[in-house]
Amino acid sequence: MLEAKTISVSISCPWMTLYETIWQPEFFPRWASGLAESTLEKDGDRWLAKGPEGMVRIRFTAWNEFGIMDHYIDAGADQEVCVPMRIVPNGDAAEVLFTLYRLPGMTDAKFAADAAWVMQDLQALKSLFER
């Protein structure tokens, strides 16, 4: 079992409106700098992205009525990392929940840095909707 940390941010936007806008892979580069530094390119049932640590292949969950936005990152070496993400109602607004797993061999400093990066990306997402 991996250590996990769930990071969240509240966004003043109806949850389904937020989900409908951001669930599509093409939207991720607008806020998720930890996932893609530029546009994503379709590659069969996956997407290719240039991330902070090189090229990765990503597959995304399809649209669903539950606000699930899980994605799976394949950085090579037969290792696919699950990244659970949810958009849930928070009153008339939305809560974005992102679970970060501590991968084997990851130092405390790297895990903390990744958590800070996720929070930075979630704040970027929030700023897109709360201008």
Domain limits of the chain?
Answer: 4-129
Task: Calculate mean pLDDT across residues 35-40.
Answer: 73
**pLDDT tens digit sequence for 70-113:** 999 886 777 788 999 999 999 999 999 999 999 999 999 999 99
Q: Which amino acid is at 59?
A: R
Query: Does the pLDDT at position 12 exceed 80?
Result: yes
Selection from 88, 30, 26 nearest residue 58 by Cα: 26
- Percent of the chain topping pLDDT 70: 95
10 Å Cβ neighbour count for 58?
23
- Percent of the chain topping pLDDT 90: 66
Task: Calculate mean pLDDT across residues 16-45.
Answer: 87
Of 29-38, 57-66, 111-120, the poorest mean pLDDT is in 29-38
What fold does the segment set 4-129 form as a domain?
A: Alpha-D-Glucose-1,6-Bisphosphate; Chain A, domain 4 (3.30.530)
Which residues lie below 8 Å from residue 28, measured CB to CB, with a gap of 6+? 22, 35, 36, 40
Q: Tell me how far apart the alpha carbons of residues 115 and 117 are, in angstroms, rounded to a whole number.
A: 5
Please report the pLDDT score of residue 40 as a whole number.
85
pTM score, two decimals?
0.89
Q: How far is CA 36 from CA 48, 94, 120, 125, in A?
A: 9, 23, 14, 14
Q: How confident is the model at residue 37 (pLDDT cuts 50, 70, 90)?
A: low
